[in-house]
Chain A
């Protein structure tokens, strides 16, 4: 009995070793948590427009594939992903909306004037309230919303080349 029991620690260690080995392999990223918003209806949204036009509300998403990009003029990674948003806007397969997060309107306008404006409409979220509703925990973040008003995909951090491809593929599928 004791003889068997003395092998017990080794057995437990062996199981842990297998788990550790698995954890190291592949492109597993432990810090990525799937968004609880996926496939759920988009949260409430009602923001004043940056240019003073009609307010940005959920109704804007109805009937078409939409992208909502959370950005700010003070955010460097936003600048890095900016060309990809311009490209998505140029594709014309989805409407691209902006959520200007904790930013001064004059700064945001200057930033867009300098780098180009991919957005059809921009809501201003000066105190970050809408950001809380949408579970934003950093800038930039990008949501893909289906014609039925449900969130289908979320990119945390700047859009990369791979993510641009995935977004385009998903926009194509949703648009069918």
Chain B
């Protein structure tokens, strides 16, 4: 057996808390990686995975310190190095790829300048040589137009492209060890797949040893040879990827696996054909001035129509920028629609906030994604919950206190939380308070805007269970907005797929289980990583699309045309696609006939 390339032995890291006590954040962690292998550190937030990854760079965050153990790269002890020695190591022999590439690039310099900076800083290469190597890396990472992309500025590039450029920056010095810290967590699934492919082929081709930090087992399964499962700073289980995926030994690993694949729940069976609770007709909304035809200057949503029965959950899915959140804001009245009507219980709602009566406000409650900014940090949990009680129901004093206790109990929060400020709570607890506030109003419809996206898998799964239970017991209808099609398919009765503000695919959940569906839906489904190691196809992530003649920008065409793998010259580039009702029950916006779409799903899956 060859000696390990990276060895971590008995690593223990402590941090000082605000009240002066010490907290062990990494507890006696040992693992080793052989040269050219990829090791994944997996765990929830607070598991110490990033702290361990940073310690490989010889870095600990302010307030924390390494109290024991060793970190060795080759035969060098990293914990024993001083600042100058570490500086010559970082970005040279060890490189780091951070989670948010958008925040890691300097917006005022071209990407080429930034990508070759490590090579120049360590005096490894002259500028022309470094630029040539960068261009080669851009090509290897599947970036479009590798020769020219370096001249652009970060704001001109997409998140997925920046993440690849960040990898190019890490690889430019030919490091022995590269650390990926949740590099695809902030990306859409459709973007993630290409970035993962690019990372994997680059790391394999160069024979670099890599550490991949993530909370997502399915993503890790594509990348890693070995997996270390962490919880609260301790190693729960370590083994090869196949062993962890197929024969997990530890209970915690099994919990993680279970949370990653939510179990489908069913709603109330009653098929209530009476008046729908929410009916949306021809909704068009956006920002800027509205023209004579009722189209805003920057349209976000185009002509959406759907309805929602009492006690039903409608899933709205799409990637960032598809208009999902705008839809919730338009229904809540925060963004008055330019055209179209929203009917609640048969009555047409006034478009904006002005003119809605207090009871209409009460019926629709909105729950935002990020509980950190959705809860006022100046108020205690009790104050936050008491306000809607007083505002809608006139509850005060002991009656309100009793109801607050009941709400906390219903959302599985300890009653003692009422006096605490929400800044003291964990992410999952905050999201529960966020839900409890919506429940306090006694609503008929809750608009859930990505409520689980910012949470760890296990915590998010618990929130999903809570939502299903609330719908079951209280009969509250929900609009569940998400970018994760597996979550949506698990809890929703109906699903609407948004692409660039168009509802490209609409139908009952069952219709999504089998083809055919809209090519974009196929792409979304095919992009969700599966828990097997051979899921991710090889290649640099750039997939070839069927060629299409010059697209006429002036005409209104299918919005998915530029990315569609099933597009057909002569049909798709002529006119706006028609609404098409499929046999399985979904309505799609596509030129293709049903039998042609069947082929497209197989095409997407074969990739």
Question: Do the two chains belong together in a single complex?
Answer: no
Which of B's residues lie within 8 Å of A, judged by CB? none
